[in-house]
Amino acid sequence: MAGVPDSELVARLVQGDEEAFGRLVAEHGPAARRLARLVLRDANDADDAVQDGLLAAWRSIARFDPRRPFRPWLMRIVLNAARDLRRRRTVRQTQALGGDETSREAPPDRQAGRALLRARLAEALATLPERARVAVTLFDAEGYSHGEIAELLDVPEGTVRSDVFHARRNLRVLLAPFLEEVG
């Protein structure tokens, strides 16, 4: 079922098709999880929020306008779910963003390097306000336009541009040693 458009998967989801749901999760889940982690800064809480968001999206799928793109609609629901979960829970700081998640197949030295980079990235992101974290990730990692992010976050487009600019500048300073290797 590879390459099936979202509109068709959504139509099948309305009928309760679990396989279509799985395809949508596979396609949009990673972006949703990144977004939730930017808000909650805890991997487990973020996945719980994504689960809440995905199930909420399925429950209200009949209200989705199929003429519009699916991902921004889903991301808004996930973002609200993450913010709602943050309000309900005390954010656990003990497990930093992605701190203990490393590739099982990577060799030890590379594994350590990845873990270190991940930890530094988590620290750098933690210095940013939530809105800036979300904005820079959606823009640079997910390919959203400023306008789409503004609509998602319910802020003016100029605010998004400013957030992305400041977030990038801070990340580049804090991650400078790693960026030299990556870039």
Task: Give dist(CA 39, CA 85) in Å, integer.
Answer: 10
Going by the DSSP 8-state scheme, the letter that residue 107 receives in this structure is -
The residue among 55 and 91 lying less far from other proteins, judged by its C-beta, is 55
State the SS3 of 97-144.
CCCCCCCCCCCHHHHHHHHHHHHHHHHHHHCCCHHHHHHHHHHHHCCC
Least Å from the CB of residue 169 to other proteins = 4
Task: Give dist(CA 33, CA 158) in Å, integer.
Answer: 26
Q: Is 154 in the site for other proteins (CB under 8 A)?
A: no
Q: Is 79 in the site for other proteins (CB under 8 A)?
A: no
Which residues ranging from 18 to 57 are in contact with other proteins (CB under 8 A)? Answer: 18-22, 25-26, 29-30, 33-34, 37-38, 43, 47, 51, 54-55
Neighbours of 41 (CB within 10 A): 22
Residues in contact with other proteins by the rule CB under 8 A: 12, 15-22, 25-26, 29-30, 33-34, 37-38, 43, 47, 51, 54-55, 58-59, 97-98, 101-103, 114, 117-118, 121, 136-137, 139-141, 143, 146, 165, 168-169, 171-172, 175, 178-180, 182-183
